[in-house]
Amino acid sequence: LKTQKIGLVFFSLYSNGYTVYLFHAGTMTFTQQGDTFEESSYVYILGNHILAEAGTCIAKLIALEMSKQTKAPIEETQKKIWLVDSKGLIVSSRKESLQHFKDPWAHGHEPIRNLLDAVKSIKPTVLIGASGIGQTFTKEVVEGHLSLSIFAFYKPVSLALSNPTSQLECTAEQAYSWSNGNAIFASGSPFDPVEFSDRVFANNAYIFPGFGLGLIMSGAIRVHDDMLLVASEALAAEVSQENYDTGLIYPPFSNIRKISAHIAAKVAVEAYEL
Protein backbone atom coordinates (compact mmCIF):
# COMPACT_ATOMS: atom_id res chain seq x y z
CA LEU A 1 0.00 0.00 0.00
CA LYS A 2 1.42 3.39 -0.97
CA THR A 3 0.86 7.06 -0.31
CA GLN A 4 -1.23 8.31 -3.23
CA LYS A 5 -1.80 11.78 -4.70
CA ILE A 6 -5.33 13.09 -4.44
CA GLY A 7 -5.54 13.68 -8.19
CA LEU A 8 -5.42 9.91 -8.65
CA VAL A 9 -7.27 8.83 -5.55
CA PHE A 10 -10.59 7.67 -6.99
CA PHE A 11 -9.00 5.81 -9.87
CA SER A 12 -6.18 4.27 -7.86
CA LEU A 13 -8.32 3.35 -4.88
CA TYR A 14 -10.73 1.58 -7.19
CA SER A 15 -7.99 -0.20 -9.11
CA ASN A 16 -6.30 -1.32 -5.89
CA GLY A 17 -9.71 -2.33 -4.62
CA TYR A 18 -11.53 0.20 -2.40
CA THR A 19 -13.46 -2.92 -1.47
CA VAL A 20 -10.31 -3.94 0.42
CA TYR A 21 -11.04 -1.18 2.94
CA LEU A 22 -14.72 -2.00 3.05
CA PHE A 23 -13.94 -5.60 3.93
CA HIS A 24 -11.34 -4.48 6.43
CA ALA A 25 -14.10 -2.51 8.18
CA GLY A 26 -16.03 -5.78 8.39
CA THR A 27 -13.18 -7.50 10.21
CA MET A 28 -12.93 -4.48 12.52
CA THR A 29 -16.63 -4.83 13.42
CA PHE A 30 -16.06 -8.46 14.35
CA THR A 31 -13.22 -7.60 16.74
CA GLN A 32 -15.23 -4.78 18.33
CA GLN A 33 -18.28 -6.95 18.97
CA GLY A 34 -16.62 -9.95 20.62
CA ASP A 35 -13.31 -11.42 19.58
CA THR A 36 -10.17 -9.25 19.58
CA PHE A 37 -7.03 -9.33 17.49
CA GLU A 38 -5.14 -10.65 20.52
CA GLU A 39 -7.64 -13.47 21.08
CA SER A 40 -8.20 -14.28 17.41
CA SER A 41 -6.69 -17.57 16.36
CA TYR A 42 -6.10 -16.66 12.70
CA VAL A 43 -7.53 -14.44 10.04
CA TYR A 44 -7.70 -16.34 6.78
CA ILE A 45 -7.37 -14.95 3.25
CA LEU A 46 -8.15 -16.83 0.03
CA GLY A 47 -6.52 -15.53 -3.14
CA ASN A 48 -6.27 -17.21 -6.54
CA HIS A 49 -4.94 -16.37 -10.02
CA ILE A 50 -4.95 -12.69 -11.06
CA LEU A 51 -6.95 -11.70 -7.96
CA ALA A 52 -4.26 -13.06 -5.64
CA GLU A 53 -2.64 -9.63 -5.34
CA ALA A 54 -5.95 -8.17 -4.12
CA GLY A 55 -5.96 -10.84 -1.42
CA THR A 56 -2.49 -9.81 -0.27
CA CYS A 57 -3.65 -6.17 -0.08
CA ILE A 58 -6.37 -7.26 2.34
CA ALA A 59 -3.81 -9.30 4.26
CA LYS A 60 -1.44 -6.35 4.58
CA LEU A 61 -4.19 -4.03 5.75
CA ILE A 62 -5.32 -6.46 8.45
CA ALA A 63 -1.71 -6.99 9.56
CA LEU A 64 -1.25 -3.20 9.83
CA GLU A 65 -4.41 -2.90 11.94
CA MET A 66 -3.34 -5.81 14.15
CA SER A 67 0.01 -4.11 14.68
CA LYS A 68 -1.69 -0.82 15.51
CA GLN A 69 -4.12 -2.39 17.99
CA THR A 70 -1.71 -4.80 19.72
CA LYS A 71 1.54 -2.78 19.45
CA ALA A 72 3.19 -5.90 18.02
CA PRO A 73 5.63 -5.64 15.09
CA ILE A 74 3.97 -6.18 11.73
CA GLU A 75 6.31 -9.14 11.16
CA GLU A 76 4.53 -10.84 14.07
CA THR A 77 0.98 -9.92 13.09
CA GLN A 78 1.58 -11.23 9.57
CA LYS A 79 2.02 -14.68 11.10
CA LYS A 80 -1.67 -14.70 12.09
CA ILE A 81 -2.73 -14.37 8.47
CA TRP A 82 -2.71 -17.35 6.14
CA LEU A 83 -3.31 -17.39 2.39
CA VAL A 84 -4.50 -20.12 0.05
CA ASP A 85 -3.98 -20.00 -3.70
CA SER A 86 -4.64 -22.44 -6.54
CA LYS A 87 -1.85 -24.72 -5.30
CA GLY A 88 -3.02 -24.80 -1.68
CA LEU A 89 -1.82 -23.23 1.56
CA ILE A 90 1.02 -20.76 1.03
CA VAL A 91 3.88 -22.13 3.15
CA SER A 92 7.61 -21.54 3.44
CA SER A 93 8.53 -24.69 1.51
CA ARG A 94 6.93 -23.09 -1.59
CA LYS A 95 8.93 -19.83 -1.44
CA GLU A 96 11.11 -20.50 -4.47
CA SER A 97 8.08 -20.75 -6.76
CA LEU A 98 5.92 -17.99 -5.25
CA GLN A 99 5.11 -14.63 -6.83
CA HIS A 100 6.92 -11.85 -4.95
CA PHE A 101 3.80 -10.40 -3.32
CA LYS A 102 3.04 -13.75 -1.66
CA ASP A 103 6.47 -14.09 0.00
CA PRO A 104 5.59 -12.32 3.31
CA TRP A 105 2.70 -14.76 3.82
CA ALA A 106 4.65 -18.01 3.40
CA HIS A 107 4.70 -19.38 6.96
CA GLY A 108 6.10 -22.57 8.40
CA HIS A 109 3.52 -25.36 8.02
CA GLU A 110 3.19 -28.67 6.25
CA PRO A 111 1.83 -28.36 2.68
CA ILE A 112 -1.97 -28.55 2.40
CA ARG A 113 -3.62 -28.82 -1.00
CA ASN A 114 -7.29 -28.03 -0.35
CA LEU A 115 -9.22 -25.33 1.48
CA LEU A 116 -11.22 -27.65 3.76
CA ASP A 117 -8.11 -29.30 5.21
CA ALA A 118 -6.47 -25.88 5.59
CA VAL A 119 -9.49 -24.59 7.53
CA LYS A 120 -9.41 -27.59 9.85
CA SER A 121 -5.67 -27.21 10.45
CA ILE A 122 -5.33 -23.42 10.74
CA LYS A 123 -8.68 -22.86 12.54
CA PRO A 124 -9.25 -19.36 11.11
CA THR A 125 -11.51 -16.85 12.79
CA VAL A 126 -12.47 -15.18 9.51
CA LEU A 127 -12.68 -16.54 5.95
CA ILE A 128 -12.14 -13.90 3.26
CA GLY A 129 -12.65 -14.88 -0.37
CA ALA A 130 -10.88 -13.01 -3.17
CA SER A 131 -10.59 -15.88 -5.61
CA GLY A 132 -12.85 -14.97 -8.52
CA ILE A 133 -13.88 -18.64 -8.54
CA GLY A 134 -17.51 -19.46 -7.75
CA GLN A 135 -18.51 -21.85 -4.97
CA THR A 136 -15.05 -22.04 -3.36
CA PHE A 137 -16.71 -21.89 0.05
CA THR A 138 -18.50 -25.22 -0.28
CA LYS A 139 -21.03 -26.65 2.16
CA GLU A 140 -18.22 -28.78 3.65
CA VAL A 141 -15.98 -25.73 4.11
CA VAL A 142 -18.73 -23.65 5.76
CA GLU A 143 -19.75 -26.52 8.03
CA GLY A 144 -16.11 -27.34 8.80
CA HIS A 145 -15.44 -23.71 9.69
CA LEU A 146 -18.48 -23.58 11.96
CA SER A 147 -17.50 -26.82 13.73
CA LEU A 148 -14.23 -25.40 15.07
CA SER A 149 -14.14 -25.19 18.87
CA ILE A 150 -13.26 -21.47 18.80
CA PHE A 151 -16.83 -20.72 17.74
CA ALA A 152 -18.30 -21.87 21.03
CA PHE A 153 -17.91 -18.22 22.08
CA TYR A 154 -18.65 -16.17 18.95
CA LYS A 155 -19.83 -16.50 15.37
CA PRO A 156 -17.66 -17.41 12.36
CA VAL A 157 -17.27 -14.70 9.73
CA SER A 158 -17.31 -15.34 5.98
CA LEU A 159 -16.53 -12.44 3.64
CA ALA A 160 -17.01 -13.29 -0.05
CA LEU A 161 -15.25 -10.54 -2.01
CA SER A 162 -15.48 -11.79 -5.60
CA ASN A 163 -17.98 -10.56 -8.15
CA PRO A 164 -20.10 -10.89 -10.22
CA THR A 165 -22.42 -13.18 -8.31
CA SER A 166 -21.56 -16.15 -10.55
CA GLN A 167 -17.97 -15.96 -9.26
CA LEU A 168 -18.88 -15.49 -5.61
CA GLU A 169 -17.32 -17.96 -3.16
CA CYS A 170 -20.80 -18.69 -1.79
CA THR A 171 -24.13 -16.89 -1.69
CA ALA A 172 -25.76 -15.31 1.34
CA GLU A 173 -28.48 -17.96 1.32
CA GLN A 174 -25.89 -20.74 1.26
CA ALA A 175 -23.84 -19.22 4.08
CA TYR A 176 -26.87 -18.86 6.33
CA SER A 177 -28.50 -22.20 5.52
CA TRP A 178 -25.28 -24.24 5.78
CA SER A 179 -24.46 -22.60 9.13
CA ASN A 180 -28.05 -22.76 10.45
CA GLY A 181 -28.06 -18.98 10.61
CA ASN A 182 -24.96 -18.82 12.80
CA ALA A 183 -22.49 -17.30 10.31
CA ILE A 184 -21.76 -13.62 9.86
CA PHE A 185 -21.68 -13.05 6.09
CA ALA A 186 -20.96 -10.14 3.77
CA SER A 187 -20.22 -10.05 0.06
CA GLY A 188 -18.96 -7.97 -2.83
CA SER A 189 -22.16 -8.69 -4.78
CA PRO A 190 -25.69 -7.43 -4.06
CA PHE A 191 -28.30 -9.76 -2.58
CA ASP A 192 -31.92 -9.44 -1.66
CA PRO A 193 -32.57 -10.00 2.06
CA VAL A 194 -32.40 -13.69 3.03
CA GLU A 195 -35.02 -15.21 5.33
CA PHE A 196 -33.96 -18.13 7.52
CA SER A 197 -35.79 -19.51 10.58
CA ASP A 198 -38.03 -16.43 10.78
CA ARG A 199 -35.00 -14.11 10.71
CA VAL A 200 -34.10 -11.72 7.89
CA PHE A 201 -30.44 -11.19 6.98
CA ALA A 202 -29.12 -8.29 4.90
CA ASN A 203 -25.91 -6.28 4.49
CA ASN A 204 -24.87 -2.96 2.98
CA ALA A 205 -22.06 -0.40 3.32
CA TYR A 206 -20.13 2.52 1.83
CA ILE A 207 -16.76 4.14 2.55
CA PHE A 208 -16.27 6.29 -0.54
CA PRO A 209 -18.64 9.25 0.20
CA GLY A 210 -17.27 9.95 3.67
CA PHE A 211 -13.69 9.33 2.67
CA GLY A 212 -13.90 11.75 -0.26
CA LEU A 213 -15.59 14.38 1.91
CA GLY A 214 -12.86 14.02 4.53
CA LEU A 215 -10.20 14.67 1.90
CA ILE A 216 -12.01 17.81 0.70
CA MET A 217 -12.55 19.08 4.26
CA SER A 218 -8.90 18.64 5.21
CA GLY A 219 -7.45 19.99 1.97
CA ALA A 220 -5.15 16.97 1.87
CA ILE A 221 -3.03 16.53 -1.25
CA ARG A 222 -1.98 12.95 -0.52
CA VAL A 223 -3.68 9.82 0.79
CA HIS A 224 -1.81 7.85 3.44
CA ASP A 225 -2.44 4.30 4.64
CA ASP A 226 -3.38 5.63 8.10
CA MET A 227 -6.21 7.70 6.61
CA LEU A 228 -7.63 4.59 4.96
CA LEU A 229 -7.32 2.61 8.20
CA VAL A 230 -9.16 5.36 10.08
CA ALA A 231 -11.97 5.29 7.50
CA SER A 232 -12.35 1.53 8.01
CA GLU A 233 -12.35 1.94 11.79
CA ALA A 234 -14.93 4.73 11.59
CA LEU A 235 -17.28 2.60 9.48
CA ALA A 236 -16.93 -0.33 11.89
CA ALA A 237 -17.70 1.96 14.85
CA GLU A 238 -21.09 2.77 13.32
CA VAL A 239 -22.28 -0.84 13.76
CA SER A 240 -24.38 -1.20 16.91
CA GLN A 241 -24.71 -4.32 19.02
CA GLU A 242 -28.28 -4.60 17.74
CA ASN A 243 -27.02 -4.55 14.14
CA TYR A 244 -24.42 -7.20 14.93
CA ASP A 245 -26.95 -9.43 16.71
CA THR A 246 -29.03 -9.53 13.54
CA GLY A 247 -26.05 -10.62 11.45
CA LEU A 248 -24.85 -7.22 10.18
CA ILE A 249 -21.17 -6.29 10.14
CA TYR A 250 -21.92 -3.01 8.35
CA PRO A 251 -24.37 -0.31 9.45
CA PRO A 252 -27.74 0.01 7.65
CA PHE A 253 -27.56 1.97 4.40
CA SER A 254 -30.48 4.11 5.56
CA ASN A 255 -28.00 5.87 7.88
CA ILE A 256 -25.51 6.64 5.08
CA ARG A 257 -25.50 10.44 5.62
CA LYS A 258 -24.65 10.12 9.31
CA ILE A 259 -22.11 7.37 8.57
CA SER A 260 -20.43 9.44 5.85
CA ALA A 261 -20.21 12.49 8.12
CA HIS A 262 -18.57 10.38 10.83
CA ILE A 263 -16.05 8.88 8.40
CA ALA A 264 -15.31 12.31 6.90
CA ALA A 265 -14.57 13.83 10.31
CA LYS A 266 -12.21 11.00 11.26
CA VAL A 267 -10.38 11.12 7.92
CA ALA A 268 -10.00 14.92 8.10
CA VAL A 269 -8.58 14.79 11.64
CA GLU A 270 -6.12 12.07 10.63
CA ALA A 271 -5.06 14.08 7.57
CA TYR A 272 -4.30 17.12 9.75
CA GLU A 273 -2.25 15.01 12.18
CA LEU A 274 -0.08 13.36 9.53
Asked whether the bond before 164 is cis by omega within 30 degrees of 0, the reply is yes
- Annotation-wise, does 203 bind a ligand? yes
Beta strands, E only, 152-225: 157-160, 184-187, 194-196, 199-201, 222-223
- Annotation-wise, does 16 bind a ligand? no
Please state, in angstroms and rounded to a whole number, the distance separating the CA atoms of residues 193 and 273.
41
C-beta neighbour count of 68 within 10 angstroms: 15
Residue whose C-alpha is closest to residue 57's, from 83, 26, 94: 83
C-beta neighbour count of 230 within 10 angstroms: 22
Please state, in angstroms and rounded to a whole number, the distance separating the CA atoms of residues 88 and 110.
11
Please state, in angstroms and rounded to a whole number, the distance separating the CA atoms of residues 149 and 147.
6
Q: Is 116 helix (H, G, I), strand (E, B) or coil?
A: helix
Binding residues: 163, 203
Binding residues for (S)-malate: 163, 203
